[in-house]
Structure 1
Amino acid sequence: MQDRKFYTEANRISWNEAAPRHEEKNQQRLLQDVTQSDFNALEPELTETLSRLDLQGKRVAQICCNNAKDLLSVIKMGASYGLGVDAASAFIDQGNQLIKATHYQDRMELLVSDVYDIPNQYKEQFDIVLTTVGVMSWMPDLSAFFKVIHSLIKPGGYYVAEEMHPVLLMYETDDQGVSRPLYSYFKQDPWKDTDGLDYFGHVNYESSPSYSFQHKMDDILMAGINLNMNLKYIREIDRDISNFCMDLEHQEAKPPLGFNMIMQKSE
């Protein structure tokens, strides 16, 4: 294992390389779609989970926001202000284009930052902190990641997570498109990938290395519990929400594919 910065910097470079490919596939459509009053890019399970909280007038931060389409969706659901944070400046640029298209410049702010280095000025400034699918597996230090989230939330506020289920990371898809378990659920060393991050077209390309990590469900829950955060809601999901090993959704003996979670910071 390298130190934490080694992994976050490598992943920043790899995501910036992926950004033009994502932009080519999605940006023009998104620039049109986000102008609709009912725009919502969230999975229906996450929309339902967020609806358990009162979003009206709330301040929301999204960590690892990518192009901020999910954060835009939360603003359209009634939140008053949104901060999006991502290390990849190319995705932040795409997000700012979307914000401009919606004329939400006075309601949203995007920040280029390593998740572990978010400035102290944002401490306890948010009613809700959100992460959406795929974020946790990029975190080399899950406990420190939860500490960052905890620091941003106001006392009594909430952390809402949408994630790939940890069991899903045991699987890999072969050349015939069939996913089978190949890795231990208790894997400790990181995965290294140089095939690119095109999770829309699934086209491989030679990329700078990226690194992802297996975090078990008890790792995730205990990272919050150790900070005296209370688990208020959890839901496991039986369908593909991540564009990863998508065939598993249709297998008879399928594993859990995702989950939603709400944790509350103590008053």
Structure 2
Amino acid sequence: MKGEEANFQTGLDALAKIANVYLNIHIKQRNSQLAAMRNVTLTAFDGPHPAGNVGVQINHIDPVVKGETVWTLDPQAVLFIGRLFNTGRVDFTRTVAVTGSEVLHPAYCKLQVGALLTSVFAGNVTRGKELRYISGNPLTGKQVSPNGFLGAFHNQLTVIPEGDDIHEMLGWIMPRFKQFSANRSYFSWLMGKKEYTLDARVKGGERHMIMSGEYDKVFPMDILPEFLIKAIIAGDIDRMEAWGYTKWLPRTSPFANLSAPRRWSCSTLSVPGLTGFALRWHNLISTN
């Protein structure tokens, strides 16, 4: 964003011509140029991840209700619009963070949307082990090959160990002093706060859903996620609506995927549920 404040303001001005624009910033940015942007309703947020997630922010500012449509853009997409109006040229250049435990030199780089990633990773990752390349972050990104392409909506690239070269005997009962556990299943929590190198292993298989309250600990919205998930699995649209489905987007629940013992993705589950929810209301509107 630095150095492109004029393009950002132009993008906001263009969007303000067609809809009300809400600009959400971190509370530490209140004295920055972002706080001085015009034609927007400004809201400042604070707190740990996912406080910066737009779905969580919408839920706290003005929750989506039945029949409403809310469109969101990330700041770099607003820059695309601003550049177009200021220069007359389409410029899809993004600032992308190259991150992960297996990246030798983490840095920011300028890439076009859909850019080939070969030159980004070449000579900049650990050799001698299997790696997982991700367009996006480890919680919500998409797996790509080292010769893959940057996703249209991603501003981060991540490289972590694949983990398929690690074999543990009776791993489920080992003390594991160096591995992370959200539920203190390992002895690592006795070592105090520390950084962990996480790999791509699932470490378990799909299990039946037990009402354990694990999702309640990590869901950022004031809903009952386990009841909602059961309604989605059953395809019960009425109960989905009653349990707050309109407040839930796939990217708002990454920690539920990480910490739950069931080993299936809440984010993936929400997509067919959302499709069924939308189809029902489309059919109701079409027949009335």
**Which structure ranks higher in relative contact order (CA pairs < 8 Å, sequence separation ≥ 6)?**
1
- Please report the TM-score for the alignment, with normalisation by the length of structure 2: 0.27
With normalisation by structure 1, the TM-score equals: 0.29
Which one has a larger percent strand, Structure 1 or Structure 2? 1
Largest Rg, 1 or 2? 2
